[in-house]
Every structure is written in C-alpha cells, then in structure tokens.
Structure 1
C-alpha cells in the first residue's frame, strides 16, 4: 500500500479523492486544503483525515506520495516541496501558467524526485490509448494528417477563464500533448485563429472561445485542432488520424448505443452533458498508471513532456495575437537550485 496525501479539496480534488480511496494499492492518509472546512468535509467522505498544515503532507515518515490538485498558482510550489522531500508526485496540469517558472521548477525537481507525472489524463482514455497503439505500431503507415475536435457544452464562468491562461493553455493544450503522443514528433510551427463568439467579453481578456489551430510536424505532416467552449448539444470530442496506408478514428462518445426507429425518423442516444462525464474513467486509469510506476513501471507523461505541450500552447497563444505562423521553441533544461 502506498500512503498518499491529496492537495486540494475542490471539484477536481474530490474526483481524485474518490479514485485514491477506491484504489486497492493506495491508502489515502490526508487531504490538505487551505480551507479547513473543505478539507475536513472531503476527507470525511473518503474516510481520511483533513488538514490545513502543509508540513503534514510532505512528512516522509507518514506519506509516500502526493497528488497535487490544488489551485493552479500553487502547483509549482507544491512540486518544489515534493522534490525537497524526494517524494513521488502526480500533478494536475499545468506545472505553472508561466512557462519560465514551470521550466525552473521542473529542472529543480527532476534530479530530486524519483517519480513525477503530469496528469494529461486523455492519454489514458481507452479509445485514445488504442489509437496510439495502432499508429505507433505502423498499421496505418506514416502519419500525414491528424484531425482533433474539442467542443465543450457551455461557457465556463468568466472568473475561471480570467485565471485559466486562455483557451490554448487551458483547453487545447490537452490536444497539443496528444498530437505529440500519437505522432512521436515535436511540432515545429503553429498557426492559430480564433474568435469570441459565444462570449464577446472574452475579447477584453485577450481570449477566444472558438478556435482553429494547425501544427506542422517535422517532415510536413499536419495536425488540425478545432476547439469551442460552447456548443449546446453536449460534449463533443473526437480524433481521426490519416496515415499513408490507412486511417484510424475515435468517434464521438454517446450516452448509449440504442437507436429508435419510427416512420421517417431515427432517434439515437445523445452526447454526454459535460466533459467530465466523457473523460471520468481516464482519471482512474491515470492514477493506476502512476501507482504501477511506483512499483517499478514506466511513468508518463513526464514533467518534460508536459513542458513541451505547454511550449506549443505558448506559441499558439502568440499566433492568436500576431496572426502569423509562429515557431515553437521548446525549453532547454539545466538543473536549478531554487530558494
């Protein structure tokens, strides 16, 4: 049994708490949050202990690993403390909204913590894992075109969007990571165009809710990603990968597979109401992957891989504002000694 502490008792923290409590290889020892009432409430639901004392979390005598699901602006600091304790860590994305700070704390953490993983959970979606297996085994030849769609059901609150880093860093970044994972290549350029159609006030934040992105891979293959925040008919996510000898796709997920026929009409089951209903199993699978890595398995995605997805998001954000194709500059890591 691996003794875990969870940092963060908000929505995503509650998701992780339930998964940690249900995992047969995990003992969820503590739930930390700066809000004591919230920490205690969540801890009681999963038969754990709530705390507001951060030193409880990084005590190697009591805790073997931590899962960081606290507010985004605390991720880097908590990752640094995990590194100081030589403690394995599973961290929600991003490492930090500022790429430079994310690079610094990654360079600091890599030589100090034995296992560090960023929870780009879509890699652990059953269908996407099968796409990856098929593509990387060469069954469709060389990748020539990847088409990905990410369409949310409704606008998130403006106060969330204001601190999210924008659509490229918050939403589309998952698909930047998938593009690298599927192809095994680092994109070299990006062009992004977008508009604030569902929520015009986003323009005041320098953000968009509807976008199209084109990545160029080494060798000339292309990746197209369309992202929208609000579609009104459920959560719509799908991927198609065209190779030189074939094609593979992961279609829309519906709530069921029943079709009802009547004169002149066929009625199918619809899409999931929201993103979480669609991807919930992938959080459990990601946790299981991390726990297996603690027992000697390979870990992914690593901090370094997460930085690459973030670097693509930075270049895509720059392209949104410049209106030009932008080169993607990947960070170079050298060991840091942070204060």
Structure 2
C-alpha cells in the first residue's frame, strides 16, 4: 500500500484526492495547504489528516507526495520531497522559470528518487489509442498534427497574474501532447497570441487566444490552437499520416443524436477539462502507483516537464518578437 501526502487543497487537489482514494493500492493519509482550513476540509472529506507541508515531507511513514500547489512552489517541493526519499507526482508545469526547472532536474538527479509530471492527457483513453495506432504504423508515418484545446471560459484574473501565461499554463499540456505523439520535441516554434476574450487578461500581461506552429527536423509540422473562450468546450487531436488519418473528437455529454425534419441535434461536448479528463487523471495515478511500487521508470518524467516548459518559453518569446524561435536557443 502506497501511503500518500497531498500538498495543496484546491480544485485540482480534489481531483487527485479522488483518484488516490479510489485506487486499491494507495492511501491518502495527509493533506496540507497554505490555508489550513482548506486542508482540514479536504482531509476530512477523504478520511485523512490535515498537517503542514513540512510535517508531511519529513514523515518517513509517507511513501509519496502529490504536489498540487501554486506553480512557483513546485521546484522547491520536488527537491524537498526527493531529498526526503519520497516518490513525487507533481502537477504541471515544473516551474515558472525554465532555469529553475533545469536546476531542479539536476538536483533531483542527485537523489535518484522517481518524479512524474502530471501531463494527464497522455493517459486519456482516446488519445492513448491514437498514439498506439500511430506507433503501430496504421497510418504510416505522421506528417502533420493538429491539436485544439479550447476552454469554455478564462480563469479568474488573480490566477492569470500568477499563472505564467497561457503558453506555460494552458498550452503546456498541448506541447507535451505534441512531444508524446510526434516522438520528441520540434526544432522551431512559431507563435502568435492576442487578447480577444477579456481586456483585463491583456492588462495582466497575458494573451487569451493563441496559435503555435512547430516544425521538426524531418519536415513534419504540428499546429496547436488555444482559446480561453469556447462556451461549448473543445478538445480534439488529428494526425495525418502517409497512409491515412487518426482523429479524436470531442466527447459528448451523452451519445444520443436526435434526427428530425428540423435537423440533426446531438449533445454538446463535455464542458470543462476537469470533467473531460477525469478518466485520464485516474489512469495517470494508476500509472504512478505502478511505477512507484515496482521501481520501474515513470511514464512521464521530469525531463518531459522541462522539455514542455522550454517549448512554452520559446512560444512566449516568438509571440512577443513575431519571429520563429529555434528551440536549441532556449
């Protein structure tokens, strides 16, 4: 039984607490948060104890920690937990600073403790099926990848101000998905971003609508599109290969289709990513538990987290300068 401490008690921590307690081989024993009352509430809901982060990390009876705290704390907590001999699953991104993330990677390497970064979309059953079919050669060699990730509404401005920006906060999932599907990072990153949804987002120094083109050494192309305003929600992936196409469309709230003389109507897509990817979060946790208890390599590594953050850094620079950025220069 893997004993687990959960660092953070916000919205995403609730998702992770659900996955931890649902798994037959893990037990949530402690929760911390910078607001003690939040930790107490979440701990009580799942039969755990509210404790301080320092107590959880120092407790030798706790095997692993899941980090669901603000991004600017991630690297410090990863390092502290691995020094204490714990396995770590940390929410993305590794850090707001690429240099700090790289330092974290070097420091964790010295401890040799397992760390997994929470790119849960790799574990979505539909995306995993697409990756499996591609790797099996069912459409030949991939040539062009299109990823669409549209959120139904932007987060609060207070979150925007500390998130690191759309490329580091939102599109970073898509950067990792591109690396996952295409088998590695691109050579160049070209990005455009604008503020169309809420002027306050622009005033906070961020964009809310963006498109990125990735080019690879062998000539392949990937295109990623994000917006923080799509009232229906939109999460799709399409890969065109030398012998055909693989597609994963939106998941509907139900499968019913009504056809009448007035037209054909189906349910709208599952609205928000938390609902859309709940099976992925559960599968992600299952993969972490399996690796942590068997000693096998983590399926999503700290190196993967740093690679996606480097792409986010390149996209931010490209959007600011209007010029393509060589990833090697980042």
TM-score, reference length from structure 1: 0.94
Structure 2: stretches of 5+ with no match in the other structure: none
User: After superposition, where does 1:74-153 map in structure 2 within 5 Å?
Assistant: 74-153=73-152
Question: In the comparison of the two structures, how many residue pairs are matched?
Answer: 329
Q: Which residue of 1 aligns with 2:32?
A: 32
Q: Is the 8 A contact 2:7 2:53 kept in 1?
A: no
Q: Which residue of 2 aligns with 1:239?
A: 237
CA distance in 1, matches of 2:300, 2:56: 27
C-alpha distance 34-53 of structure 1, shift in aligned 2 (>3 A):
same
SS at match of 1:261: strand
Q: Is the 8 A contact 1:20 1:28 kept in 2?
A: yes
User: After superposition, where does 1:163-242 map in structure 2 within 5 Å?
Assistant: 163-232=162-231, 234-242=232-240
Q: Is the 8 A contact 1:83 1:108 kept in 2?
A: no
Cα distance, 1:45 vs structure 2: 0.4
Q: Which residue of 2 aligns with 1:335?
A: none
Structure 1: stretches of 5+ with no match in the other structure: 332-339
Cα distance, 1:263 vs structure 2: 1.7
Q: Which residue of 2 aligns with 1:50?
A: 50
SS at match of 1:44: helix
Structure 1 range deviating more: 87-96 or 33-42: 33-42
Q: Which residue of 1 aligns with 2:278?
A: 280
Q: Is the 8 A contact 2:147 2:237 kept in 1?
A: yes
Structure 2 residue 289 is matched with structure 1 residue 300: no
Query: What CA deviation, in whole Å up to 9, does each residue of 1:259-301 have, x standing for no partner?
Result: 1122222111111121211111111110000000023243121
Q: Is the 8 A contact 1:311 1:329 kept in 2?
A: no
Structure 2 residue 314 is matched with structure 1 residue 315: yes
Cα distance, 1:185 vs structure 2: 2.4
Q: Is the 8 A contact 2:94 2:309 kept in 1?
A: no
Q: Which residue of 2 aligns with 1:337?
A: none
TM-score, reference length from structure 2: 0.96
Structure 2 residue 32 is matched with structure 1 residue 22: no
C-alpha distance 55-15 of structure 1, shift in aligned 2 (>3 A):
same
Structure 2 residue 30 is matched with structure 1 residue 3: no
Structure 1 range deviating more: 279-288 or 200-209: 200-209
SS at match of 2:121: helix
Q: Is the 8 A contact 1:175 1:225 kept in 2?
A: yes
Considering only aligned residues, what root-mean-square deviation do their CA atoms show, in Å? 1.3
Cα distance, 1:82 vs structure 2: 1.1
SS at match of 2:283: helix
**Runs of 4+ with >4 A deviation:** none
User: After superposition, where does 1:251-262 map in structure 2 within 5 Å?
Assistant: 251-262=249-260
Structure 1 range deviating more: 28-37 or 173-182: 28-37
CA distance in 1, matches of 2:258, 2:3: 49
